[in-house]
Amino acid sequence: MRKLTMLAALAATTAISTPALAGNPEGNWQVKVLGTGVLVDGEISKVELDPLALTPGGQTDINNNVVPTVAIEYYATKNISVETICCLTQHHATGRGTLDGARLVDHIMILPATVTVKYHLDAGPIKPYVGVGPSLFFFIDEKPGADAAALGVDKLKLENEFGFAVQAGVDIPVNDTGMGISIDAKKYFMDTTAHFKVGGSDVLVTEHKLDPWVVSGGVYFRF
């Protein structure tokens, strides 16, 4: 979170110090450049296959990450808009409990394809909003961790899954040319199933609750 705060502060300073561009504070399009903290759960919610009894008493933990993101938003009306975000976030997974310290997953790239419909409240110059929409997490380039590989695991596959996100935030104009500061928080409700494989066959299958918080701060430009 400290990294996220520093990124947001840097972005805000940039917005204030940048010369005014030809924007429109009532325009239909808005672009945000953000620093984003991705705070993931990752615990095992169900064990589907575990012939070696590795999971009793064990849990998993996925690390948090801070990444740059871009959000593109279209205002259909003064109060209603549609937004999508673009980012890639990298994570790894380690064990807890009886699996404490085990390196289970060394690399996962997540592309959180998300579209939200937002309602913007009338609150004077400060513009709070809420939103909700569907999401599809794509998992890319998964790699088993060293301890999983030591047991013979040579491939890891996480299932792409549908879920949804709820959202709240505020846009704060800093001039009259469409520039401002944005603070945003999304809560995702998302699971995935992990397949640990040896020679193409599943040897461990676990379902995981991801349910990340995605917290962002940065600048926007409306035109």
Q: What CA–CA distances, in Å, run from 52 to 47, 72, 203, 204? A: 12, 47, 8, 8
Tell me, what DSSP letter sits at residue 199? T
- Residue ranges of the domains in the chain? 2-222
3-class secondary structure per residue, 102-150:
CEEEEEEEEEEEEEEEEEECCECECEEEEEEEEEEEEEEEEEECHHHHH
Three-state SS annotation for 40-94: CCCEEEEEEECCCCCCCCEEEEECCEEEEEEEEEEECCCCEEEEEEECCEEEEEE
| pTM for this predicted structure | 0.86
Q: Return the CATH fold of 2-222.
A: Porin (2.40.160)
pLDDT average, residue stretch 113-142: 95
Tens of pLDDT, residue by residue over 46-60, are 999 999 899 999 999
Lowest mean pLDDT among 14-23, 28-37, 120-129, 208-217: 14-23
Would you state the pLDDT for residue 197? 97
Task: Kindly give the pairing relationship between strand 201-209 and strand 103-120.
Answer: unpaired
Q: Residue 192 pLDDT > 70, yes or no?
A: yes
Chain position carrying tokens 């997974």: 93
- Judged against a pLDDT cut of 80, whether residue 11 lies above it is answered with no
